[in-house]
Amino acid sequence: MPDLFAGDAAPNSRAAATAVAGSNPASSAFSSGSSLLDTFKTKAAEAAKSFLIDMWLARHTEAKVLPILERVLDACADEFADAVAHGGGVYAVGYCFGARYVLLLAAERPAQGRRGGAAGGSAGADEEANRPATVGPRIKAGALAHATLVSKDDFIGLKAPLSVVCVEDDPLFPDEVRIAGEEYMTHNGVEHEVQVYPGVPHG
């Protein structure tokens, strides 16, 4: 989705592997060959893919991605005001990297730029005093599939209903994080459903 990431889309696994293995499909990392050369190419492709994804994640932090999503939601509210009004709001689905952002958009959070402490009497302080203490949730309901980079703290403030689809023993969305999230949603009365699939890999 290059529009979402300002022209810097996530690395494509097949493209990364093909770049390392060469353009010949018979010698690609996805062939079933068992020669030493094929094994080396497969391992090199996996290392390249991992490196590309790590570099991409380092460039796409919450500070960079969340403002983009906020602008998209603002534009949707303007451009499709009637549809948003009749649908009761915007609904969001987050897959893998996007799942964490559905959580953040489904929560009530401190307003950006709001500082704690007493105001100092300047015009800036007056402006800050009029700024809401919290914002959100920005979406009506959300769904997560195969979440990554989610922490227990990402569930704090969650208000919008949520559907979570994940796999058991997923190192990218650990059971302890999922369970803490479920407990938070149950304790705070957040409507939710969680489906955990055993015996399948992430993604």
What pLDDT, in 10s, does the model give residues 135-158? 889 999 999 999 999 999 999 999
3-state class percentages of the chain: helix first, strand second, coil last, to nearest 5: 45, 15, 40
pLDDT for 115 equals 37
Cα(17)–Cα(21) distance, integer angstroms: 6
pTM for the predicted model, two decimal places: 0.70
Q: Which DSSP category does 60 fall into?
A: S
Instruction: Report pLDDT for 155.
Output: 97
Per-domain residue ranges for the chain?
13-59, 62-197
Domain spanning 62-197 has what CATH number? 3.40.50.1820
- CA distances 62 to 31, 121, 188, Å, are 37, 32, 25
Q: Which residues contact 66 (CB under 8 A, 6 or more apart)?
A: 101, 104
Q: Are 152 and 180 in contact (CB under 8 A)?
A: yes
Q: Enumerate the β-bridge partners of residue 194.
A: 164
Residue 194, both tokens: 């969680």
Quick check: bond before 137 cis, omega within 30? yes
Stretches in the chain below the pLDDT threshold 70: 1-7, 10-34, 49, 51, 112-131
Give CA–CA dist 70/64, Å, rounded.
Answer: 11
CA distance 15 to 88: 40
Spatial contact of 155 and 181, defined as CB atoms under 8 Å apart: yes
Which pair of tokens denotes residue 201? 């890999």
Apex 84 CA angle, 78 and 86, nearest 5: 135
Q: What is the pLDDT of residue 43?
A: 72
Cα–Cα distance, 38 to 45 (Å, whole number) = 10
> d(Cα 70, Cα 90) in Å, to the nearest integer?
12
Write out the two tokens for 109.
């959070």
pLDDT of res. 112: 67
- Candidates 114, 99, 117; CA nearest to 165 is 99
